[in-house]
Amino acid sequence: MRWDDAFVEHEGAVARLRFAHMAAALPRMVGVVLRAGWETDPRALAGVVVAQAGQGLTTAFGLVAVNGVLSSLFANGPTDDKLRESLPALALLALVSVGMALLTAWSTAMSGRLEPQVERAVSLRYYRSVTEVEIAATERPEVQRHLDAGKFGTDSARRMLSLSVGVANVVIGMVAAAVVLASLHWALLPMLLAIALPKAWGAVRSARREYVSRRHWVDHRRAVATLLQYLTMPHAAGEIRAHAAGSLLLRGYEEMSGLMETEQRRLARAQAATDLAAAAFSGLASVGCYGVLWWLLTSGGLPMAVGGTAVVAIRTSTARLTSLVQQVNRMYEEMLRLSDTEEAIQIASGHAIPRTGRPLPAPVREIQVRDVSFTYPGATVPALHRVDVSVRRGEVTALVGANGSGKSTLARILGGLLLSDSGEVWWVGGKAGGDGEDGGEGERVEVREAARADVFRSVGMLTQDFPNWQMTAAANIAIGAGDRPRDAARLKEAARAAGVDELIEGLPHGWDSIVFKGYERGVQLSGGQWQKLGTARSLYRGAPFLLVDEPTSALDPHAEIEAFDRLRTLADSGVAVVLVTHRLAATASADHIYVLDRGHIAEGGTHGELMGRPGGLYRGMFDAQAAQYGLTASSAEGVPAPRDDTAAQPR
């Protein structure tokens, strides 16, 4: 049993493995690598090509020189004369050796310079494409699988280049030998081919078998690697020891490695059988070849010197052939991985977020969600069903509801990260506090038509599972503004507003401390400290629409109150704050509260209005929380009052 058979189906890969397909794909993939090389460093690529061609020529001259030496030595006459006559050919042979050494050194230098650049170029293309894919597309397993598989081919580009150089070197050398041999006697060329073909067949067969096996075991391997990673992860250290999870994982590792070893044994046996068959055919061809040579020499069809040259050529070509077989074998494997990367890039560009679109009105006053439904790929129940919501600048809009009711999904729709299946999301222009209605004074753009880069620029977010970057404290905040130049004063201001400035400045390396233990300047932050850092990041972004999803789940009571006050202040300064939370004490001061229930808006209004509905969902949830503190709804006076109930507009 493999780790999970459901994961490992990969019909595409198997379909691609037909010989004709592979033979056609190889030049295409070499083309990809060469194009990448040409785009990054044309001089180095030209250097490699010239060096390879030069090596082919020197090989040919080498054989001609060998033939010259042998012809002189096998000629009639005194030995001294024969040796003297062979001197020019010997000098040519020496020159050829020097030329070969120089060209090899040049090729090594140039390809060493080119390889990392090619890897970088392919990696950049791949990672750029996958990060531009619509999030909804990445939720589709077939897309996700292709995008994931592409990851393994980025360093294959580098290896493909080095192998292409190696293969080109051997092939050019062999072609040169073949030309020289054919010019000596026509029968010598088919002999060389007869030795070469069985080995080439064996190489392709083994590469195919290994690739199929790897594709089938890819998730198993990944699972084994993950098991081992857990054993050294700091956040798992407690459970590894206290719950004895470590021994369970190690047992799993042993069992799963055992299965993989069985597969490795199967592959090794199959490869040995293939190698043996290839060697047998190749050996038979060699025997035949030397037999023909013998017959040609004895029947006088070939001069002795040419026979000697042929033996040298066949022996060096056979040695080259062994290296060729090994390199072609590896090249096929790398080619298959690289073609996964190319396929991933193609699929990614088919699902890319459009780069163009209508600019958003400036400034945007409001986002209006109208009749929006959304179902996650593969899900049977919609996460959102015919939802209507308005989010205005200058206000705090709270989204509340039970787990799984659709709050985070709605926040992602508001931020343009997910596009609805039906309904519209309008970005409406006008000044904060203006009262233009749909189609009124404010120009409006539907998110599908909008330049999505504008949409993203207008949104800041702090998600439930925001990333904890393994970087410095400063970088963890500055990354909120993407690649905008860092502004130290604003950075400090954001940290101060999030209540994390003193903590950072008190760290051993201050702003330059890496907020992840294990690095040289690494420190460990607590969950709440991370949450403050995340808040600072979203504040530093300075976007007019701020979407915060449970921003205080890890904060102590004082920090939590401060965080909610800060959101209120932000809204008062003109920002639209969308607050997803289960802390209903905080939503009491929101300008508008939407209550979601299984994907639809069940209730909407201010805290006062919603509390005025006996039996309502919001009131039920609020009462449940208040009861934990021994308060009843009517006695829950301690919660912050709505800012100004009368000012909040009905929607």
Ligand X SMILES: Nc1ncnc2c1ncn2[C@@H]1O[C@H](COP(=O)(O)OP(=O)(O)OP(=O)(O)O)[C@@H](O)[C@H]1O
Contact residues: ligand X, CB under 6 A = 139, 376, 379, 383, 401, 403-409
Q: CA–CA separation, 234 vs 517, rounded Å?
A: 8
Q: CA–CA separation, 329 vs 322, rounded Å?
A: 11
Query: Considering beta carbons, is residue 275 or 388 the nearer one to ligand X?
Result: 388
Query: Considering beta carbons, is residue 421 or 572 the nearer one to ligand X?
Result: 421
Half-sphere exposure of 432 (CA within 13 A, CB side): 16
Query: Considering beta carbons, is residue 405 or 538 the nearer one to ligand X?
Result: 405
Query: Considering beta carbons, is residue 150 or 406 the nearer one to ligand X?
Result: 406
CB of 258 closer than 8 Å to CB of 182: no
Nearest CA among 367, 252, 274 for reference residue 325? 274
Nearest CA among 574, 589, 587, 575 for reference residue 645? 589
Query: Considering beta carbons, is residue 110 or 417 the nearer one to ligand X?
Result: 417
**Segment (H or E) for 196:** helix 188-232
Residue that has been written with the tokens 């301690």 in this structure: 638
Q: CA–CA separation, 538 vs 571, rounded Å?
A: 14
Shortest Cβ 498–ligand X spacing (Å): 22
Query: Considering beta carbons, is residue 527 or 608 the nearer one to ligand X?
Result: 527
Shortest Cβ 621–ligand X spacing (Å): 12
Query: Considering beta carbons, is residue 413 or 570 the nearer one to ligand X?
Result: 413
Query: Considering beta carbons, is residue 69 or 621 the nearer one to ligand X?
Result: 621
What the block records as the tokens of 626 is 């208040």
CA 244, 249, 250 angle in degrees (round to 5)?
A: 100
600 Cβ contact partners less than 8 Å away, ≥ 6 residues apart: 384, 385, 386, 387, 406
Q: CA–CA separation, 9 vs 219, rounded Å?
A: 10
Shortest Cβ 408–ligand X spacing (Å): 3
Shortest Cβ 222–ligand X spacing (Å): 20
Nearest CA among 557, 560, 556 for reference residue 548? 560
Cα separations in angstroms, 296 against 193, 290, 422: 18, 10, 81
Query: Considering beta carbons, is residue 333 or 549 the nearer one to ligand X?
Result: 549
Shortest Cβ 377–ligand X spacing (Å): 7
Furthest C-alpha separation in the chain: 125
Shortest Cβ 418–ligand X spacing (Å): 9
CB of 312 closer than 8 Å to CB of 63: yes
Amino acid at 247: S
Query: Considering beta carbons, is residue 170 or 459 the nearer one to ligand X?
Result: 459
Query: Considering beta carbons, is residue 193 or 379 the nearer one to ligand X?
Result: 379
CB of 541 closer than 8 Å to CB of 460: yes
Shortest Cβ 599–ligand X spacing (Å): 7
Query: Considering beta carbons, is residue 403 or 632 the nearer one to ligand X?
Result: 403
Cα separations in angstroms, 492 against 382, 500, 508, 526, 540: 42, 9, 17, 20, 9
CB of 449 closer than 8 Å to CB of 485: no
Determine the 3-state secondary structure of 62 from DSSP: helix
Shortest Cβ 397–ligand X spacing (Å): 15
**Segment (H or E) for 156:** helix 154-184
Cα separations in angstroms, 358 against 135, 353, 361, 362: 21, 14, 9, 12
Shortest Cβ 463–ligand X spacing (Å): 10
Sign of CA dihedral 563, 568, 572, 576: positive
Shortest Cβ 563–ligand X spacing (Å): 18
Query: Considering beta carbons, is residue 365 or 407 the nearer one to ligand X?
Result: 407
DSSP letter, residue 151: G
Residue that has been written with the tokens 């929101």 in this structure: 590
Shortest Cβ 400–ligand X spacing (Å): 9
Shortest Cβ 464–ligand X spacing (Å): 6
Shortest Cβ 371–ligand X spacing (Å): 18
For 203, other C-beta atoms within 10 Å of its C-beta total 22
Q: CA–CA separation, 373 vs 99, rounded Å?
A: 71
Please count the helices (runs of H) and the strands (runs of E) in the chain: 22, 10
Shortest Cβ 391–ligand X spacing (Å): 16
Shortest Cβ 600–ligand X spacing (Å): 12
Amino acid at 152: F
Query: Considering beta carbons, is residue 400 or 543 the nearer one to ligand X?
Result: 400
Query: Considering beta carbons, is residue 173 or 599 the nearer one to ligand X?
Result: 599
Residue that has been written with the tokens 């006062």 in this structure: 608
| 64-98 residues labelled b (16+ CB within 10 A) or e (exposed) | bbbbbbbbbbeeeeeeeebeebbeebeebbeebee
Shortest Cβ 623–ligand X spacing (Å): 19
Nearest CA among 585, 586, 583, 602 for reference residue 594? 602
Query: Considering beta carbons, is residue 404 or 510 the nearer one to ligand X?
Result: 404
Query: Considering beta carbons, is residue 339 or 408 the nearer one to ligand X?
Result: 408
Shortest Cβ 581–ligand X spacing (Å): 9
Q: List the end-to-end C-alpha distance of the chain, in Å, as a whole number.
A: 57
Residue that has been written with the tokens 């001197």 in this structure: 87
Phi, psi at 471, each rounded to 5°: -140, -175
